[in-house]
């Protein structure tokens, strides 16, 4: 996100507070198996000038971040991006070099990820990936996608309304909400499933989807990168009805009450993704932390989750954030998108795995 460029360094005080608040509820013993077979490395740059995809010429994308991916159930990967830059002469009248739009979506049918991820189409007119959701600039800075899932023959995203950017790794949301698309991500409408940033709903301002059979799990975090992780679930047919969601609380499921949710992963955790991994035979999660990207594993969606291992240190690549697992990762190699603030672009990363 463009507003993130001024927040490259995390404050020491915030780090100390986050560590103090870290829950050990779901942490595994220190001798737990480690599954990373070396650090994650860059495969290719996906966006921007001279990237493997001509995102400037084909989609009018000069700079962007995130790259939230999910399988649309029809042989495509849908990838939602955050704040997006392009050239527009009118923006110069407002003292801005780049024209800015809040969110865009690209599609991919590329199954061969060893050399990168090729985008094959986009939402929008030819040559321009359109803004999916328009923010109300009187109330919010931007609207950012945080997760996506295919359910009920539709595509769903969770989005967050950003009220303001605060100190490094911290921002404040107005609300989180669910939006849906019936035309493969071309057009989106808001679902009446909003979570104001307060009470139990504060725990679910951002998150990650995991679909197991007909059950949709949602791993929620507060706004920013410093909270714990909470878990909700719902039958996919009821995904649009918040009153039918259940919340994991001290080992049991509580219906309709997000206040009851207790952490399943410790703080500080932000911008996470969760998937089942056939190679390891475990559920896996990647998340942003102040020290880098953390890999966690569990035998069940609700855990217990391991305390995690660092697979991409915060200094390599420098200023990285938001690791989102590619759903088509196979075998002993895990692929994920990763945003790097310097240059403001999205990369595809490779993480070698080993069975513990």
Question: Band of the pLDDT at 167, cuts 50, 70, 90?
Answer: confident
Residue with tokens 């507003």: 3
Q: Where are the domains of the chain?
A: 41-352
Question: Any alpha helices (H) in the chain, and if so which ranges?
Answer: 12-21, 55-59
User: Is the confidence at residue 93, as pLDDT, over 70?
Assistant: no
CB 15 within 8 A of CB 29: no
Angstrom distance (rounded) from CA 354 to CA 58: 38
* Structural tokens at position 192: 């009446």
Cα end-to-end span (Å), the chain: 37
Instruction: Give the per-residue pLDDT at 96.
Output: 57
Question: Band of the pLDDT at 90, cuts 50, 70, 90?
Answer: low
What per-residue string of b and e applies to 141-168 under the rule 16 or more CB within 10 Å gives b? Answer: bbbbbbbbbbbeebbbbbbbbbbebeeb
Question: Band of the pLDDT at 87, cuts 50, 70, 90?
Answer: confident
What per-residue string of b and e applies to 1-17 under the rule 16 or more CB within 10 Å gives b? Answer: bbebeebeebeeebbee
* Cα 41 → chain centroid: 19
Question: Band of the pLDDT at 75, cuts 50, 70, 90?
Answer: very high
For the domain made up of 41-352, give the CATH fold. Answer: Tachylectin-2; Chain A (2.115.10)
User: Is the confidence at residue 192, as pLDDT, over 70?
Assistant: yes
Torsion of CA 314, 317, 321, 324, to 10 degrees: -120
Angstrom distance (rounded) from CA 303 to CA 325: 19
- Decide: residue 43, CB within 10 A, 0-12 exposed, 13-18 middle, 19+ buried: buried
- Mean pLDDT value of segment 251-256: 98
Q: 262-320 pLDDT, tens per residue?
A: 999 999 999 999 999 999 999 999 999 989 999 999 999 999 999 999 999 999 999 99
Instruction: Give the per-residue pLDDT at 9.
Output: 33
Higher-confidence residue of 214 and 9: namely 214
Angstrom distance (rounded) from CA 274 to CA 287: 9
Instruction: Give the per-residue pLDDT at 12.
Output: 28
Q: 198-241 pLDDT, tens per residue?
A: 999 999 999 999 999 999 999 999 999 999 999 999 999 999 99
User: Is the confidence at residue 11, as pLDDT, over 80?
Assistant: no
Distances (CA, A) of 217 to 33, 91, 162, 301, 302: 25, 41, 24, 8, 9
| Cβ neighbours around 109 below 10 Å, total | 12
């Amino acid at each position: 996100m463009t507003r993130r460029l001024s927040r490259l360094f995390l404050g020491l005080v915030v780090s100390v507070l986050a560590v103090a608040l870290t829950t050990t509820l779901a942490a595994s013993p220190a001798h737990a198996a480690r599954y990373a077979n070396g650090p994650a490395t860059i495969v290719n740059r996906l966006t921007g000038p001279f990237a493997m995809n001509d995102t400037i010429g084909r989609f009018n994308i000069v700079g962007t971040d995130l790259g939230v991916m999910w399988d649309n159930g029809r042989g495509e990967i849908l990838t939602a991006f955050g704040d997006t830059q392009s050239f527009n002469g009118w923006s110069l009248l407002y003292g801005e070099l780049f024209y800015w739009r809040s969110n865009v979506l690209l599609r991919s049918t590329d199954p061969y990820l060893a050399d990168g991820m090729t985008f094959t189409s986009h939402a929008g007119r030819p040559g321009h990936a359109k803004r999916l959701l328009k923010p109300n600039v009187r109330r919010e800075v931007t609207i950012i996608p945080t997760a996506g899932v295919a359910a009920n023959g539709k595509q769903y995203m969770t989005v967050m309304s950003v009220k303001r950017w605060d100190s490094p790794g911290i921002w404040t949301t107005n609300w989180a909400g669910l939006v849906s698309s019936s035309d493969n991500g071309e057009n989106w409408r808001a679902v009446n499933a909003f979570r104001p940033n307060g009470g139990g709903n504060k725990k679910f301002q951002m998150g990650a989807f995991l679909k197991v059979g007909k059950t949709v799990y949602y791993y929620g975090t507060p706004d920013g990168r410093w909270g714990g992780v909470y878990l909700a679930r719902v039958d996919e047919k009821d995904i649009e009805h918040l009153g039918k969601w259940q919340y994991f609380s001290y080992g049991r499921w509580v219906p309709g009450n997000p206040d009851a949710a207790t952490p399943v992963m410790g703080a500080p955790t932000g911008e996470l993704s969760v998937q089942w991994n056939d190679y390891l035979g475990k559920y896996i999660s990647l998340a942003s932390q102040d020290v880098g990207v953390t890999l966690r594993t569990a035998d069940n969606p609700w855990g217990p989750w391991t305390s995690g291992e660092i697979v991409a240190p915060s200094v390599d690549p420098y200023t990285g954030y938001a690791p989102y697992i590619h759903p088509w990762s196979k075998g002993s190699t895990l692929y994920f998108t990763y945003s790097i603030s310097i240059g403001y672009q999205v990369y595809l990363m490779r993480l070698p795995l080993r069975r513990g």
